[in-house]
Structure 1
Amino acid sequence: MASVQQSVSASAVRATATRIITPRSILLGLTSVVLISLIVPYFQYTMASSQLGADHLHIGALFLAFAYLVVFNVVLARWKKDWALTPHEFVIPLVMGMAASGLTTNGMGAPFISTLMAPYLLATPENQWAEYFYPYLQPWANVTNQGNALTWLVDGIPPGASIPWSVWGIPLFWWLTFIVPVIFMGLCLVVILRRQWVEHEKLVFPMMQIPLAFTRGMESPSRIPAFLSEKRFWIGFSIPFCVMMYNIVGFFTPVVPQFPYFGSAPPIVFGEGFPPLEINFRPAILGISYFVNLDVLAGFWVFYMIGIIQVGIAHRIGYDIPGRDNYTSIHPMLDWQNMGAFILFVGWGLWRARFHIRAVCSQAFGRRSDLDDSDEMLPYRVAVFGFIGGFVYGVVWLNQLGMSVPIAVFLLAGVFIIYIGVSRIIAEAGLPYVRSPMIAQVLVFYSVGSANLSMSTMTAMAQTYGPVSEIKSTFMPAFMQAAKLSEIGARWQRGLGWSLLSAAVIGVVISLVWTIYLGFDLGTRQFTNGWWFGRIGSTIPYNETLTKIRDPFGPDTSRLMFFLVGGALMFLLMTLRARLPGWPLHPLGFFLSYSWPARAIVSSMFVCWVIKSIMMWVGGIELYRKGQPFFLGLIFGVVTGVVISMFVDYVWFPHAGHHIYGID
Structure 2
Amino acid sequence: MNTTLKTQKRERPNHTTWRAIVLGLLLTIPHGYFSVQTPTPSTVSLIYPVILNLTLLILLNLVLKRWLPRQALSQGELLTIYTMLSLAVAIGGHDVMHVTAPILGHAFWFATPENEWQTLFFSYLPRWLVVDDLRVLKGLYEGDSSFYNLDYVKTWLTPVFWWSMLLFALMVVMLGINTIIRKQWMEHERLAYPIIQLPLAMTRDGGSGKFLGSRTLWIGIAIGGGINLINGLHAFFPAVPLLPIRNIEIGHYFTEKPLSAIGWTPVCFFPFVIGLSYFMPLDLSFSCWFFYLIWKLELVLGAILGLRSLPEFPYIKPQTSGAYVGIAAIALFSARKHLYSVFRSVFDKSSRDDAEEPMRYRTALGCILLGGVFLAFFCTKAGMSLWVFFLFFGFYFMLVFALSRLRAELGPPVNELYNIGPDQMLPRVFGTRQLGASNLTMFALFWGFNRAHRCNPMPYQLEAFKLAEEAKTNQKYLVQTMALTSLLGIWVAFWSFLDVRYREGFGGSFGWEAYLNLERWLYYMPGRDIAATAFMGGGFGLMLILTFLRRRLLWWTLHPVAYPMGSSWTMNWMWFPIFISWLIKRLLLKHGGIAAYRNAIPFFFGLILGEFFIGGIWNIYGVLSHQYIYTFWH
The one-letter code matched in structure 2 to 1:459 is T
| Equivalent position of 1:26 in the other structure | 21
- Measure the CA separation in 1 of the matches of 2:262 and 2:146: 54
1:380 to 361, 369, 381: 361
Cα distance change, pair 499–603 in 1 and its aligned pair in 2 (3 A): same
- Measure the CA separation in 2 of the matches of 1:296 and 1:466: 30
- Measure the CA separation in 2 of the matches of 1:174 and 1:158: 25
1:76 aligns with 2:64: yes
SS in 1 for 2:40: coil
- Measure the CA separation in 2 of the matches of 1:19 and 1:237: 29
Instruction: Deviation per CA, 1:485-509: give whole Å up to 9, x if none.
Output: 0112446101111111211221121
The one-letter code matched in structure 1 to 2:226 is C
| Equivalent position of 2:42 in the other structure | 53
1:499 to 473, 481, 496: 481
1:228 aligns with 2:234: no
- Post-superposition offset of 1:59: 0.9
- Measure the CA separation in 2 of the matches of 1:563 and 1:423: 21
- Post-superposition offset of 1:244: 1.8
The one-letter code matched in structure 2 to 1:628 is I
| Equivalent position of 1:4 in the other structure | none
Instruction: Deviation per CA, 1:251-279: give whole Å up to 9, x if none.
Output: 3222212223x332222455222234320
| Equivalent position of 1:273 in the other structure | 261
- Post-superposition offset of 1:312: 2.3
- Measure the CA separation in 2 of the matches of 1:166 and 1:18: 46
| Equivalent position of 1:259 in the other structure | 243
Of 356-365 and 625-634, deviating more is 356-365
| Equivalent position of 1:155 in the other structure | 142
Q: Where do residues 168-317 of structure 1 align in structure 2 (5 Å cutoff)?
A: 168-218=156-206, 224=208, 226-260=210-244, 262-268=245-251, 269-270=253-254, 271-317=259-305
- Measure the CA separation in 2 of the matches of 1:373 and 1:277: 51
- Post-superposition offset of 1:240: 1.0
| Equivalent position of 1:661 in the other structure | 632
Cα distance change, pair 306–30 in 1 and its aligned pair in 2 (3 A): same
| Equivalent position of 1:567 in the other structure | 540
| Equivalent position of 2:32 in the other structure | 37
The one-letter code matched in structure 1 to 2:391 is F
| Equivalent position of 2:371 in the other structure | 390
Q: Is contact 2:230–2:241 with CA below 8 Å preserved after alignment?
A: no
1:406 aligns with 2:384: no
| Equivalent position of 1:144 in the other structure | 132
Alpha-carbon RMSD across the aligned residues, in angstroms, is: 2.3
Instruction: Deviation per CA, 1:200-244: give whole Å up to 9, x if none.
Output: 1111111100011123343xxxx5153322211111111111222
- Measure the CA separation in 2 of the matches of 1:426 and 1:491: 21
| Equivalent position of 1:557 in the other structure | 530
1:473 aligns with 2:458: no
2:599 to 608, 612, 626: 626
- Measure the CA separation in 2 of the matches of 1:172 and 1:479: 24
1:544 aligns with 2:527: no
- Post-superposition offset of 1:194: 1.0
- Measure the CA separation in 2 of the matches of 1:370 and 1:377: 13
| Equivalent position of 2:6 in the other structure | none
Of 423-432 and 407-416, deviating more is 423-432
Cα distance change, pair 192–159 in 1 and its aligned pair in 2 (3 A): closer
- Measure the CA separation in 2 of the matches of 1:283 and 1:435: 19
SS in 2 for 1:272: helix
Q: Where do residues 80-91 of structure 1 align in structure 2 (5 Å cutoff)?
A: 80-91=68-79
The one-letter code matched in structure 2 to 1:143 is V
Q: Is contact 2:246–2:266 with CA below 8 Å preserved after alignment?
A: no
Q: Is contact 1:439–1:471 with CA below 8 Å preserved after alignment?
A: no
Instruction: Deviation per CA, 1:170-193: give whole Å up to 9, x if none.
Output: 111112221111111111111111
- Measure the CA separation in 2 of the matches of 1:320 and 1:127: 32
**TM-score under structure 1 normalisation?**
0.88
- Post-superposition offset of 1:103: 1.2
Q: Where do residues 497-536 of structure 1 align in structure 2 (5 Å cutoff)?
A: 497-525=479-507, 533-534=508-509
- Measure the CA separation in 2 of the matches of 1:332 and 1:182: 33
| Equivalent position of 1:641 in the other structure | 614
SS in 2 for 1:134: helix
SS in 1 for 2:299: helix
Q: Is contact 1:213–1:227 with CA below 8 Å preserved after alignment?
A: yes
- Post-superposition offset of 1:548: 2.2
The one-letter code matched in structure 2 to 1:460 is M
1:418 to 399, 403, 406: 399
Cα distance change, pair 571–579 in 1 and its aligned pair in 2 (3 A): same
Cα distance change, pair 629–546 in 1 and its aligned pair in 2 (3 A): same
SS in 1 for 2:414: coil
Q: Is contact 2:43–2:455 with CA below 8 Å preserved after alignment?
A: yes
| Equivalent position of 2:94 in the other structure | 106
Instruction: Deviation per CA, 1:606-641: give whole Å up to 9, x if none.
Output: 111111111111112121111111111111111211
- Measure the CA separation in 2 of the matches of 1:202 and 1:597: 28
1:448 to 414, 427, 430: 430
Q: Percent identity among equivalent residues?
A: 26
Cα distance change, pair 340–372 in 1 and its aligned pair in 2 (3 A): same
1:349 aligns with 2:298: no
- Measure the CA separation in 2 of the matches of 1:286 and 1:88: 28
- Measure the CA separation in 2 of the matches of 1:69 and 1:621: 29
- Measure the CA separation in 1 of the matches of 2:56 and 2:631: 21
Q: Is contact 2:223–2:607 with CA below 8 Å preserved after alignment?
A: yes
- Measure the CA separation in 1 of the matches of 2:182 and 2:630: 36
Instruction: Deviation per CA, 1:43-71: give whole Å up to 9, x if none.
Output: x2xxxxx7212232111111111211111
Of 158-167 and 435-444, deviating more is 158-167
- Measure the CA separation in 2 of the matches of 1:453 and 1:160: 38
- Post-superposition offset of 1:28: 2.1
The one-letter code matched in structure 1 to 2:439 is T
Runs of 5+ unmatched residues, structure 1: 1-16, 45-49, 325-330, 526-532
| Equivalent position of 2:315 in the other structure | 333
Cα distance change, pair 278–161 in 1 and its aligned pair in 2 (3 A): closer
SS in 1 for 2:128: helix
| Equivalent position of 1:528 in the other structure | none
- Post-superposition offset of 1:30: 1.2
